[in-house]
Amino acid sequence: MALQTHPAVASMREVHWVVRMNYRGRTVSWGMIFAVCVLLGQERAWSWGHWVALVLQFVAYPQLSYLLARHSAEPVRSELRILTLDSFCFGLWMSWMGAPLWLAYALCACGAMTLAAFRGMGGLYQAVLAQASGALCGVLLWGFEFRPDMGPASTALSMASLTTYLWIFAHAVNVRTHRLNRIRWQLKDSERALQQQLLEISALQSQLREQANRDALTGLFNRRFLDATMDRELARCQRMAEPLSLILIDIDHFKNINDTFGHAAGDEVLRRLAFLLSTDARSSDVVCRHGGEEFLLMLPHMPLAVAMARAERYRSMLESSVMLIEGKRMRCTLSAGVACYPVHGKGPSELMAAADSALYRAKRTGRNRIERAAEDLSTKSVPA
């Protein structure tokens, strides 16, 4: 069964903790000081006017000040002002009673300590000043009187009320410290969780970036990545007066492979060729799946002759290898067109078109061949 909080306790919890703590301190320890004053009043035979003032100060005032602070727009500021007023009233009472030793000590200590706790040394000076002002007003109103003697019962009760007030204060500070520590640990835990999530997000982002540039079937770069890098690589080779070769590869009669062995077997052929093309690639080479059964290698700083030799190596390796896919032996061949900057064009589209027409020629002239692009006579600045 869930524990129900009493409405009075729940509404008290909504009050600012400074107001709540001082209310408790005032109600309990001021109640005890009230009892001390009653003893003292009996010892000193006070008039009824003094008894009324006593009830107003130590019974009514704590309740009124609590209501005032609680309903104020700025409860803490209002509470601190009330604390200053407390000290002033203590000064008045001390002056009027002739500063009975233990009672005066208890009042001064409580007033000064509370303000110092919230405002530091400034609060201490403020409390002392308020108490001195109260005492001075008392002297001006009723004249100077000094009667430090107190009976044993009122002395003991003064000590008890001071001790009780200190205990209430210490308890509130302790509860506060525990709560703050708990919040600090919760914040640390949240921060750790947040850091972890940020790490996961950045890992996911880089994974997404990588996936966006990769072909899902073969793991090679995709056309999107090639388009994004070709301009940059060509510009670099232009600056360095270096060649850049393109090898456009197409598997021969791939449709037959699909039709004979099935689409899954066709996929496996694409994966194996992708593996073959990337095994001896340099770090600067971009090996990509250009679409369907077409692959493109962009080879910066590679002259045409070397690119031709490399394409020929791939062709002969594929021709001579027998693939065992799903228990079936399979052979296939490739055709390729090779173009090179600057011999066959200056821009990406010219080079691509040159490689494509070379590939077309290789297909047309029997397949399982490597063809170099037709030379572009307008571009003859860097020898390939």
Ligand X SMILES: Nc1nc2c(ncn2[C@@H]2O[C@H](COP(=O)(O)OP(=O)(O)OP(=O)(O)O)[C@@H](O)[C@H]2O)c(=O)[nH]1
Q: Rule CB under 6 A: choose which of 17, 118, 125, 254 binds ligand X.
A: 254
What token pair was written down for 138? 């008392």
3-state class (DSSP) for residue 196: helix
Q: What residues from 261 to 280 belong to the interface with ligand X (CB under 6 A)?
A: 263, 266-267, 270
Query: CB under 8 Å to 112, separation ≥6 — which residues?
Result: 87, 124, 127, 128, 131
**Is-catalytic flag, 74?**
no
Of the listed 79, 233, 268, 293, which one is catalytic? 293
Which of these ranges, 144-152, 207-215, 247-255, 376-384, lies near ligand X under the rule CB under 6 A? 247-255
- Cα–Cα distance measured from residue 132 to residue 145, given in angstroms and rounded to the nearest whole number: 15
Binding-residue total with ligand X (CB under 6 A) = 16
- Cα–Cα distance measured from residue 250 to residue 267, given in angstroms and rounded to the nearest whole number: 14
Which of these ranges, 64-72, 170-178, 248-256, 375-383, lies near ligand X under the rule CB under 6 A? 248-256
Minimum distance from residue 262 beta carbon to ligand X (Å):
8
> Does residue 219 bind ligand X (CB under 6 A)?
no
Task: Please state, as a whole number, how many other Cβ atoms lie within 10 Å of the Cβ of residue 190.
Answer: 10
Query: CB under 8 Å to 283, separation ≥6 — which residues?
Result: none
Binding mask 288-327 for ligand X (x = CB under 6 A): ----xx----------------------------------
DSSP letter string, 41-74: HHHHT--HHHHHHHHIIIIIHHHHHHHHHHTSSS
- Cα–Cα distance measured from residue 69 to residue 20, given in angstroms and rounded to the nearest whole number: 10
- Give the nearer residue to ligand X in terms of CB position, either 34 or 261: 261
- Give the nearer residue to ligand X in terms of CB position, either 177 or 211: 211
User: Which residue has tokens 């008290």?
Assistant: 12
Beta bridge partners of 372: 338
- Give the nearer residue to ligand X in terms of CB position, either 114 or 335: 335
> Does residue 250 bind ligand X (CB under 6 A)?
yes
Which of these ranges, 80-88, 138-146, 250-258, 297-305, lies near ligand X under the rule CB under 6 A? 250-258
Minimum distance from residue 363 beta carbon to ligand X (Å):
5
The closest of 141, 57, 127 to 95, measured between CA atoms, is 141
Beta bridge partners of 246: 298, 339
Q: Rule CB under 6 A: choose which of 141, 217, 235, 324 binds ligand X.
A: 217
- Cα–Cα distance measured from residue 107 to residue 102, given in angstroms and rounded to the nearest whole number: 9
Minimum distance from residue 258 beta carbon to ligand X (Å):
5
Which of these ranges, 54-62, 68-76, 134-142, 255-263, lies near ligand X under the rule CB under 6 A? 255-263
- Give the nearer residue to ligand X in terms of CB position, either 252 or 285: 252
What token pair was written down for 106? 């208890």
- Give the nearer residue to ligand X in terms of CB position, either 86 or 371: 371
Dihedral angle, C-alpha 347, 353, 354, 355, nearest 10 °: 110
> Does residue 255 bind ligand X (CB under 6 A)?
yes
Minimum distance from residue 289 beta carbon to ligand X (Å):
9
Minimum distance from residue 362 beta carbon to ligand X (Å):
10
What token pair was written down for 343? 């011999």
> Does residue 242 bind ligand X (CB under 6 A)?
no
Residue pair 373/355 in contact by the 8 Å Cβ criterion:
yes
Binding site residues, ligand X, CB under 6 A: 217, 250-255, 258, 263, 266-267, 270, 292-293, 363, 367
Catalytic residues, which ones?
293
